[in-house]
Chain A
Amino acid sequence: SVLLYQKPNRDICQSGTSLKIQCVADSQVVSMFWYQQFQEQSLMLMATANEGSEATYESGFTKDKFPISRPNLTFSTLTVNNARPGDSSIYFCSSREGGGAEQFFGPGTRLTVL
């Protein structure tokens, strides 16, 4: 399995500000995924980030709003720009181990936008 760590665990910010969420893997991984989960709902894939290339975003998510960096094989950062109350949710990073199909998830970052 892959162990993923996220920082911060939770954050509260004002509308219009930006914040960064970091994800660190305990081993090198090819792809990292970012998910958004609203309360009492399922997970929605935001984007896939591979090292050295631009992240691929899913419908409804844009690079301008949620820029993602992937500078190396163990690290990724998700930024939430111009945060709005509607962005209040839990953000998870995930990854797979080697050629495995199953994804392992970080502990999540609970964001509240006031």
Chain B
Amino acid sequence: GEQVEQRPPHLSVREGDSAVITCTYTDPNSYYFFWYKQEPGASLQLLMKVFSSTEINEGQGFTVLLNKKDKRLSLNLTAAHPGDSAAYFCANTGNYKYVFGAGTRLKVIA
């Protein structure tokens, strides 16, 4: 089946540094891409939705890049702070079913 490879599985950065999480996908029909944040003991919170027609999306404190040629999606947290410590998951879908990445556990050290 279609797969999404997410890297790195664990990431530790100092407060104020940037953090980059990358997903590569295989489904050529993927059209929608998503980043979710899951704080410890909590549910998934949608951070951003990206359509295949867009390449760069900016949110509050982060940027999402989509490289369709390389089938790569990245989340760049700029100036990370301790509140960013969480698990981050990418997901994509070409139809209605999600394919999730394995997740990245980010720890921001004050």
Contact partners of B101 in chain A: CB under 8 A: 42
Tell me if A76 is interfacial: C-beta within 8 Å of chain B: no
Q: How far is the CA of A45 from the CA of B105 in the complex (A)?
A: 20
The A42-65 residues at the B interface (CB cut-off 8 A) are 42-45, 48
Tell me if A105 is interfacial: C-beta within 8 Å of chain B: yes
Tell me if B71 is interfacial: C-beta within 8 Å of chain A: no
Number of A-B residue pairs with CB-CB distance less than 8 Å in the complex they form: 41
Q: How far is the CA of A41 from the CA of B9 in the complex (A)?
A: 10
Instruction: Give the size of the chain A interface in residues (CB under 8 angstroms).
Output: 20
Instruction: Give the size of the chain B interface in residues (CB under 8 angstroms).
Output: 18
Of the candidates B32, B42, B46, B100, the one whose C-beta lies within 8 Å of that of A43 is B100
Give, as a whole number of angstroms, the nearest-CB distance from B99 to chain A.
9
The A1-38 residues at the B interface (CB cut-off 8 A) are 1, 31, 33
Known: A43-B100, A96-B96. A102 touches B32 (CB 8 A): yes
Q: How far is the CA of A102 from the CA of B102 in the complex (A)?
A: 18
Tell me if B93 is interfacial: C-beta within 8 Å of chain A: yes
Binary flags per residue of B89-100, CB closer than 8 Å to A gives 1, else 0 = 100010011101
Contact present for A42 and B93 (CB under 8 Å): no
A positions within 8 Å CB-CB of B? 1, 31, 33, 40-45, 48, 92, 96, 101-108
Q: Can you give 20 A-B contacts (C-beta < 8 A)?
A: A1-B46, A31-B96, A33-B98, A40-B105, A41-B102, A42-B89, A42-B100, A42-B101, A42-B102, A45-B97, A45-B98, A48-B96, A92-B43, A92-B44, A96-B96, A101-B31, A101-B49, A101-B96, A102-B49, A105-B44
